[in-house]
Structures are given as structure tokens and as C-alpha cells.
Chain A
């Protein structure tokens, strides 16, 4: 390929003239040349090579993320049954869902499940981290033990809790009624409206709080000991040290963990599906389970995708906030 001088004028066909083609300083640059100059100024002199290097990943992202996403958006605007071609219905699925009482309850349940779970996990995780930073015996052992819920497969945990919560055969009622005598009779943990949601939140918390604890613990260990010593010398109490030294020190980690957990919890499917399938009477129906039920129970794929995409705006908001936080962390 001939070397092209950046300032060389274009030929009538838009071709540039190199060293062999002569140089005509009196000829005004054509639009294409101006574009080239602008691109080089904006993207850098090696922008062509840059595009070449990022092309594979761009193609991958387009094929594996952008295309499926766009196709999902398209399908959500169709009436699509299994084995049949989609029929365009525009926003009909979204409009119908908006006014569907069952869907509305699922939205409320999703937020209840997510916010309650994340709040409790934050408190327990903080407690776990504080205990594990203190001088206790067998700290490594306890750290390992507390991580078990996090590393255990979700399906296994949920199936175990299905048995634990069982009214007649479950160990929880057995302990509360027969061993400790706290209750005169058992509780239908998964069958009562007041306890079903709390029970599934309980499992999500049990499974998720070690992640909070370990993350907070890592953040706390990075805080220089001198800060605590200085605070102690200044007469700060334990609570004040926690508030003015520990919390600011792990603020970024807390934010990232909170946001990540919000996304994961909002999308949690296995725990609720295994424990209640969204019952009783829709009391624990959340959007991921509803998506599944409409896709495989009703076999209306278009509407199921519309349910899933309804979750997108709040999750996108969380993801944007999370990205900003992580970018800030990198630039510091």
C-alpha cells in the first residue's frame, strides 16, 4: 500500500495523491480528506489499526449480547407461541402487563424480596466482618464455616430448606415445638402469607450474607491500623471509630456489594421456584418466576420476554450507578 501524506490533496475520484502523484497546494481539500483529518484528530493517528484490534471483541459483543438483546426486544413486541412464527403486536404485551393485577403483585413482591434481602444481608454481613476482624480464636475456621452457605449450590440449599420448612416433617417446627417448646404447634412456613415471603427471604439471606461479610472483611483489612490508633488516642469510642473510620474506609466496597447483590437478588429464581413456585396464591411470585411461568407454563414467549424486560429499567439504573462507582474507584 502506498504511503499517503496526510495533507496530500485528493484526486477527482476522491483518491489521494502520494509522493509519486505530485503535490498541488493550491487545490482545496475534498470532503473525504477533511473527514480523514477529523477522524485522525478525534480518534488518533492509528485509529484504523485500533479498529482492527477491537474488531474481534466488537463482533463477539454484537453477536452474543447486542443481537440476542435486540431480538429479545423484538420478540417482546410479538405474539410468539412455541413452534409458531412471531406475530408483531407492538406494545400490546407491555400494555396488558401494566394493567394485569397478577403482574403488579409480582412487581411489588420483587421489590419487597430484593430490598428486604439486601438490607438484612448488609447488616448480617457487616456483623460477620466485624466479628472476624476482632481477636477471636480459630478465626480462619469460622471464616470457612461462614462461607459454606455461599459456596453451596443454590438448588441444594433450597431443597434442604424445603425440607426444613415442612410443616409435618421439617426440622424447624420439630425444634420449635418438641425440642425447645417455643411454640405449641408448628408453623406453615411456606403456606401462610405472613411467613411465605419471610421464609424465602430468609433463605436468600442465609445464602447471600457471607458474600457481604467477606467483601466487607477485605475492605476493613485494608484500613491502616494507625487510623484506629489515632482515633483511640483522640478518645473515640468503638461506635465512633466504626462510624468515622471503618465505614468511610469501606464505603466503596459497601456500595459495590450492595449494587451487585441488588442485581443478583432481583434476578433470583431458584430459591423461590423451588420453595414455593410463587405461591401460595401468588404471595411470593416475583418477576423471574413469572417470566418462567409464562414462558414454559403458558408457552407465550413474547409476553414472557416482555415481563423480563420490564425488569430492565431498574436494573439498568443500578448497573449504571455500579459502573460509575467502579470507574471512579479505578481512576483514584
Chain B
């Protein structure tokens, strides 16, 4: 019995209160308790927060990571949502996605790279509505970004930002030697490197690995395009060792020659990973290198002595022009998520121009535009080095170029076929043509298998 009712009963027994008084007070106590319980019952669901699992990309631009995390936390507080954030890096994101999808336990939403929509299309939700809404409010998507996120006519990702590579040059060395910015790799970069390097002091003119890495693979893609070649033809069929054999042979031979013939690269370059050229450049061992803006961010944020001595220029080209592939980061929602509306709300929130600007400001050029409306942002004129980043993004092409972006093209990148091919020449002793034909067999196989998917 409720202690208050018991007390009232005792008072009644003792004759301290009248029966009417007892009934009145008892009614108040029981009625109040019932009303209270009812109120608590209605409040309970309101207090149990909805949980949202979110995987974010942990980029080297740590300040940007902090900004987006803070924005999501603010949104979650406003919406009374409990957000469980997890981070995936360059090195482990694919493993995490594969494991989660195969285990049937993916997050509700994830930040993906260029290949995400294509690779995980079977697990991703059609986000065409929110993607189109966001894009139309920002003047539309840049063509390369639209191609990356639209799979089989549907948007599987909502564009966020673009990450590209640019050509880093030690401005102090260039000016000291009276050299000009190179426009093409051969002969400009070769001559530039030869004149600017000093191997005796372990200073090398050019630092570009052809080893199995994203950096090496990106460079190999670019250089094939620069010479008018590529892995696939305009119809998406393998052409690396057939239609484009002549162009690709010249491109591959040039890439190999930077190591074997011209002697402009450090001897250990074929053992480099993605961070090796960053380390070598910041250690003052390189005059030029290709890298993402994260290297510039690292130097600027650490007030590194080479930051003011560095100039970022357009990636050099070849006989057919200058081509660059840029990544396009995007938000994807998984089929399994029962909170797609909430995810879409979060996407609209973080892609709001004011919030994106906050993210972009701290990213020191890493968060390039994927929307036409963001191209004209004054931010891109705030640092002379940003212009090269912006221009490289605007002229970006996708993997598979000159053909469409296909699952086979994504797999060629994933299997590092191009760097394996270069390695077969540099360290395996094959001729460029033989290596191209060997790579062609692998590409044909991938094309055949992926065609059945």
C-alpha cells in the first residue's frame, strides 16, 4: 500500500480525520499517482533517443574531421538523436565496409570515396531525391562528380567534396636555379628535375612512386591519359594492350625512365607507400612531387619551414594534354537503415553552405568543390596555391576514361594493375610492351568477370 494512503488510514482509525476527509485525500493521492504514471508513460518514448550509426572518413586533415564531428553532434542534439560515430581511414575503410556489408550490419550512413557508390551499389539506397535537391540548390554537380555518384541512372551518393592531386614545387629551389614551372612531363619535368636536383646532397628532382599505392596508381592513370592512352576505350572495353598499346607504351616507358634512365628519382622510390613522398618532401629531399592537398595542409598547419617555400601548380601533362583523376567524397545511406529520413536530414544539415564553408576553411584546399556553386567561393582566391587545386578539379576525368566509369575500371584501380605493370618493368625486367600485354590479360579477365556481375 502507498505509504500516504496507509498514513491516512491510520489517521482515520485514530479518529484524527473524518471519513469524508479520508476519501477526499485518498482520491487526490491515487488520482495524482495515476496521472503521474500516465505522464511518465507518455514521456518514456520521447526520452528514448533514436540511434544513428555513422561512419566518417578520417582524413589527414584533422581539423576538418573535428569540424564535421562537431556539426553532427550539434545536429544530433537538436534532433534528440544519439549518433554513434566511427571513423575509417584510407587504410581500413574498404575492409570495414566489406566486413559490415557481408555481416549484414552496415551503418545507417557513411562517408564514401569516389568508388563507394560503384563498389557497394548492392547495399546502398537510392538517394536521388536528396542528391538532386542538394545539387540544384548549389548550381548542380560538376560532371565528374555526377558520373561518380550516379550508378545505373540512380544517385547512390550525395556529393560532399573533391580531393585531387597537384604538382608540388620547391619555389625557393626553382627560383634559385632560374627555372620555370614545367607544363609537360617530357621534357619539362625531366629537365627541371635534372637542373634542380643534387643527388650528392640527397636532394632529388622528382619524387613519384610507381609502387602499389594510391599515389602510384593515380600517377599511372594520369600519365596513360596524358599520352593519349588509357586502360579502357570509349566504349569501356579493355584497350590497355591493344588499341592504346602505342600510346601506353610511350607513357609507361616515360614513367619507368624517370627512375631507370633519367635518374631524377630517389633510388628507393619503388618501395614507397602513400606517405613516403610526403615525408621525403617535408624532409627537404624532393624538389617536386605529386600529392593531394593534405601535404600542403600538413605543412601549413604545422608552420613547416617549407610551407612558404612551396608552390602548387597544375599537374604537368603529355602529348595529348594534361589529365587528372579526382576523388569525390559523398554521403551514402545503406539499404538496411530504417532511418533514411533522418540520414537525409543530416545530409541536408551538413551540406548547408554555411556549415560546409566552416569545414572548407579549415581544410586548407583539401575540400574541393563538387558543386558548381562552390567553385566561385572567394575562399579559392584566398591563397595563390589553391588555384591549381581548383583547376585540376574542374578538368577532372573519371577512372575508365575515355570510356564510362565501370565496376571493371574500379577493380583495375582496386587491384593496382597499373602499378604492378610499372613494377614489372622497373624491377621485373620486362619491356614496356610486354608489361602492357601482361596487364591487358588481367584487365580482360576483370572485364569478363565484372561483366557477369
Residues of A within 8 A of B (CB): 79, 81-84, 87, 96, 100-102, 162, 165-169, 185-193, 196, 276-283, 293-301
Majority SS at the chain A contact face: loop
Question: B202 to A281, Cβ gap below 8 A?
Answer: no
25 CB-based A-B contacts, threshold 8 Å: A79-B453, A83-B101, A162-B273, A167-B268, A168-B285, A169-B285, A185-B267, A186-B267, A186-B268, A188-B268, A190-B268, A191-B211, A191-B268, A191-B269, A191-B271, A279-B211, A280-B211, A281-B270, A281-B425, A293-B416, A297-B94, A298-B411, A298-B446, A299-B119, A301-B98
Tell me if B276 counts as interface (CB < 8 A to partner A): yes
Q: Report the minimum CB–CB distance from A74 to chain B (whole Å).
A: 15
Complex-state Cα separation, A327 to B421, whole angstroms: 48
Tell me if B428 counts as interface (CB < 8 A to partner A): yes
Given contacts A82-B101, A167-B267, contact A281 B423 (CB under 8 A): yes
Question: A279 to B423, Cβ gap below 8 A?
Answer: yes
Tell me if B46 counts as interface (CB < 8 A to partner A): no
Instruction: Name the 9 nearest CB pairs between A and B, nearest first.
Output: A281-B423, A167-B268, A190-B271, A191-B271, A191-B270, A188-B268, A83-B122, A83-B123, A280-B270
Question: B267 to A193, Cβ gap below 8 A?
Answer: no
Chain B residues with CB under 8 A of A186: 267-268
Complex-state Cα separation, A162 to B268, whole angstroms: 12
Tell me if B427 counts as interface (CB < 8 A to partner A): yes
Query: Which residue from A169, A193, A196, A295 sits with its C-beta under 8 Å from B283?
Result: A169
Chain A residues with CB under 8 A of B426: 280-281
Question: A79 to B422, Cβ gap below 8 A?
Answer: no
- Closest residue of chain B to A289, judged by CB? B212
Complex-state Cα separation, A280 to B212, whole angstroms: 7
Tell me if B419 counts as interface (CB < 8 A to partner A): yes
Chain A residues with CB under 8 A of B102: 82-83, 301
Query: Which residue from A100, A168, A277, A294 sits with its C-beta under 8 Å from B266?
Result: A168
Question: B270 to A279, Cβ gap below 8 A?
Answer: yes
Chain A residues with CB under 8 A of B97: 82
- Closest residue of chain A to B446, judged by CB? A298
Question: A96 to B122, Cβ gap below 8 A?
Answer: no
- Closest residue of chain A to B101, judged by CB? A83
Extra contacts, 9 of them, besides A166-B276, A188-B270 (Cβ < 8 A), are A169-B285, A189-B268, A192-B270, A196-B271, A280-B210, A281-B420, A282-B424, A298-B415, A298-B446
Given contacts A83-B101, A280-B427, A283-B423, contact A96 B271 (CB under 8 A): no
Tell me if B188 counts as interface (CB < 8 A to partner A): no
Given contacts A102-B442, A281-B423, A282-B423, contact A82 B271 (CB under 8 A): no
Question: A168 to B211, Cβ gap below 8 A?
Answer: no
Query: Which residue from A162, A166, A185, A293 sits with its C-beta under 8 Å from B415?
Result: A293
Chain A residues with CB under 8 A of B122: 81-84
- Closest residue of chain B to A81, judged by CB? B453
Complex-state Cα separation, A166 to B271, whole angstroms: 8
Q: Report the minimum CB–CB distance from B262 to chain A (whole Å).
A: 16
Tell me if B345 counts as interface (CB < 8 A to partner A): no
Chain B residues with CB under 8 A of A193: 427-429
Tell me if B10 counts as interface (CB < 8 A to partner A): no
Chain B residues with CB under 8 A of A297: 94, 411, 414-416
Question: B94 to A192, Cβ gap below 8 A?
Answer: no
Question: B212 to A278, Cβ gap below 8 A?
Answer: yes
Tell me if B445 counts as interface (CB < 8 A to partner A): yes
Question: B267 to A300, Cβ gap below 8 A?
Answer: no
Q: Report the minimum CB–CB distance from A104 to chain B (whole Å).
A: 12
- Closest residue of chain A to B267, judged by CB? A188
Given contacts A191-B267, A191-B270, A277-B212, contact A299 B276 (CB under 8 A): no
- Closest residue of chain B to A192, judged by CB? B427
- Closest residue of chain B to A162, judged by CB? B273
Chain A residues with CB under 8 A of B212: 276-280
Tell me if B120 counts as interface (CB < 8 A to partner A): yes
Given contacts A79-B452, A282-B424, contact A296 B280 (CB under 8 A): no
Q: Report the minimum CB–CB distance from B3 to chain A (whole Å).
A: 52
Question: A282 to B428, Cβ gap below 8 A?
Answer: yes
Chain B residues with CB under 8 A of A189: 268, 271
Q: Report the minimum CB–CB distance from B442 to chain A (whole Å).
A: 7
Chain A residues with CB under 8 A of B213: 277
Chain B residues with CB under 8 A of A296: 94-95, 98, 414
- Closest residue of chain B to A167, judged by CB? B268
B residues 53-102 in Cβ contact with A at 8 Å: 94-95, 97-98, 101-102
Chain A residues with CB under 8 A of B445: 96, 100
Tell me if B14 counts as interface (CB < 8 A to partner A): no
Tell me if B344 counts as interface (CB < 8 A to partner A): no
Given contacts A83-B102, A191-B211, A296-B94, contact A276 B271 (CB under 8 A): yes
Chain B residues with CB under 8 A of A83: 101-102, 120-123
Q: Report the minimum CB–CB distance from A192 to chain B (whole Å).
A: 6
Tell me if B272 counts as interface (CB < 8 A to partner A): yes
Complex-state Cα separation, A87 to B353, whole angstroms: 45
Complex-state Cα separation, A279 to B273, whole angstroms: 10
Tell me if B438 counts as interface (CB < 8 A to partner A): yes
B residues 430-453 in Cβ contact with A at 8 Å: 438, 441-442, 445-446, 449, 452-453
Complex-state Cα separation, A196 to B273, whole angstroms: 14
Tell me if B279 counts as interface (CB < 8 A to partner A): yes
Question: B267 to A187, Cβ gap below 8 A?
Answer: yes
Question: B211 to A299, Cβ gap below 8 A?
Answer: no
Given contacts A167-B271, A191-B211, contact A82 B414 (CB under 8 A): no
Chain A residues with CB under 8 A of B419: 279, 281
Query: Which residue from A96, A187, A281 sits with its C-beta under 8 Å from B424?
Result: A281
Q: Report the minimum CB–CB distance from B336 to chain A (whole Å).
A: 10
Complex-state Cα separation, A168 to B276, whole angstroms: 10
B residues 358-383 in Cβ contact with A at 8 Å: none
Query: Which residue from B98, B270, B272, B416 sits with its C-beta under 8 Å from A82?
Result: B98
Q: Report the minimum CB–CB distance from A85 to chain B (whole Å).
A: 9
Chain A residues with CB under 8 A of B210: 280
Chain A residues with CB under 8 A of B94: 296-297, 299
Query: Which residue from B98, B272, B279 sits with its C-beta under 8 Å from A299?
Result: B98
Complex-state Cα separation, A295 to B99, whole angstroms: 10
Chain A residues with CB under 8 A of B119: 82, 299
Chain A residues with CB under 8 A of B423: 279-283
Q: Report the minimum CB–CB distance from A222 to chain B (whole Å).
A: 44
Most chain A CB within a 10 A radius of its CB, from B283, B420, B427: B427
Chain B residues with CB under 8 A of A299: 94, 98, 119, 411, 414
Q: Report the minimum CB–CB distance from B428 to chain A (whole Å).
A: 5
Q: Report the minimum CB–CB distance from B210 to chain A (whole Å).
A: 8
Q: Report the minimum CB–CB distance from A163 to chain B (whole Å).
A: 9
Q: Report the minimum CB–CB distance from B261 to chain A (whole Å).
A: 16
Chain A residues with CB under 8 A of B429: 193
Given contacts A168-B283, A169-B280, A299-B414, contact A191 B424 (CB under 8 A): no
